[in-house]
Amino acid sequence: MTLVRIGVLVNPIAGMGGSVGLKGTDGEETLREAIRRGATPTAGARMSAALASAGDLEGAEFLTCGGDMGASILDELGVIGKEVCASSHETSAKDTVECAKRLRDAGAGIILFSGGDGTARDISDAVDRSVPALGIPSGVKMHSAVFANSPRQAGTLLSEFVRGKAGVKEAEVMDIDEDAFRLGRLSAKLYGYLLVPYDRSLLQPMKGDVEGPTSDEEKEEVAEYFAENVERGVVYVLGPGTTIAAIASKIGVPKTLLGVDAIMDGKVLGTDLAEKELIEELMRHKDSRIVVTPIGSQGFILGRGNQQISPAVIRLVGTENVLVVSSPSKLATIERLRVDTGDSDLDREFGGYRRVLVGRGRWKMIKVS
């Protein structure tokens, strides 16, 4: 087997804003606010999960960055890696760019990175298409097509690449304006490309615009039926999305388009709630539901842009009480629904098929993975 050097790079702060309702962690002020709200790092654990899922990478050597940017994760796994780049105590985009360049220059045949769209942008700035890269989804928003569907599938795809069973292709690096995102406006932009190992079943597609000319009418039909069948005395946790915003409108309550809200009996219990606030609200009531809709053509219903709906929140509500709604035109572009909650046991509980409300009393069964 040909020797492959794997560059391991972690953005330690990626995704920290998700569970506390900040919709990202770009910028020092946002990071400080995330920490103040009790956010904890998750990107390192997701890197660890991906490497563990890769199994025995015979014939591979590891290159990495210092401390929490990679070296500490390899140490915990008992993996020997050569440190080619130190890291700051408080890491920044500058550290990511510098370490990506060092990994490339040290002969990395692939850079495995844990982060979100901002991290992908930094790596694209550093290496462009000079070396393949593969993202482990760890941010709040992953619109780019350079990420595996989950840490476990990133490990599988890495193994395929090392064994010469996966080719490479160019994939889009996207990012959004986080300040606009926090104000409920989604503004995505193409920033560049990376070469990525390719397996269609393991790599998430770029989030795209899948709305057709009749999508507004379809959403209205879904919203009317859902609103007519809302149960009294039940807390509804409403995830992001225009279909769910249409439901809230029919019920007669305001909705933060890109946030997570809670309502009961036609009244708002809280808007743009973080994980802690959702748990507190759910603990005060006996019965609850979670309402989500797939993100674009990616098919994710949990783990993308709604990390406030955490494993702890889902377990309080129950997986059987997670309700999925979608316009038929959007669902027609989705091969399967996907979940990436950060809890592999919980993800497995969603396996199989799930009903999706697509119209007035009309449901479609679609596979979940």
pTM, rounded to two decimals: 0.68
Class assignment of domain 4-198? alpha beta
What is the reported pLDDT for 120? 94
Q: What mean pLDDT do residues 264-290 have?
A: 95
Mean pLDDT of the 320-330 span? 93
- Domain chopping of the chain, boundaries: 4-198, 215-368
Q: Which residues pair with 235 in a beta bridge?
A: 288
Mean pLDDT of 247-257: 93
Q: Where are the beta strands (DSSP E) in the chain?
A: 4-10, 60-65, 81-85, 110-115, 133-137, 167-176, 188-198, 234-238, 261-264, 267-270, 287-292, 300-302, 322-325, 338-339, 352-359, 362-368
Residue type (1 letter), 308: Q
Amino acid 291: pLDDT: 98
Strand partners, 135: 113, 147
Q: At residue 158, what is the residue type?
A: L
The tens digit of pLDDT for each residue in 32-67 reads: 655 567 657 688 999 999 999 998 888 799 999 999
Tens of pLDDT, residues 177-235 = 555 554 555 556 778 889 999 998 898 876 654 444 447 889 999 999 999 999 999 99
* Average pLDDT of the chain, as a whole number: 87
pLDDT higher than 80, residue 329: yes
Q: What is the mean pLDDT of residues 17-36?
A: 56
Whether pLDDT at 107 is above 90: yes
* Res 213: pLDDT: 40
CATH code for the structural domain at 215-368: 3.40.50
* DSSP 8-state assignment for residue 320: G
Q: What is the pLDDT of residue 144?
A: 87
Computed on alpha carbons and rounded to an integer, the radius of gyration of the chain in Å comes to 20
How confident is the model over 114-154, as pLDDT tens digits? 998 889 999 999 999 999 999 999 877 678 889 999 999 99
